[in-house]
Amino acid sequence: MRSIAPLAFAAISGVVLWKLIATILLPMLAVVLGLVGTALKFALIAAAIFFLYSVIKKRRQEAEA
């Protein structure tokens, strides 16, 4: 019986640590991934606007020449 106690303690502490990680770190990871996704979305929108601006600017320069 005495040799099972350390194993049971390790198992219980492992479950408690896993629950803490799942409760604290996984939502933080989701927030970070959401922020990265939002930043990428804004970067893509800015790149599309810049592309359209450069196309329009090029056509104006060709029309003036």
Rounded alpha-carbon distances, angstroms, from residue 35 to 4, 12, 31, 38, 45:
46, 35, 6, 5, 15
- Report the Cα 40 to chain-centroid distance in Å: 10
pLDDT in tens, 17-60: 999 989 998 899 999 999 999 999 999 999 999 999 999 988 77
Q: What is the residue-wise DSSP string for 19-60? A: HHHHHHHHHHHHHHHHHHHHHHHHHHHHHHHHHHHHHHHHHH
Global confidence as pTM? 0.61
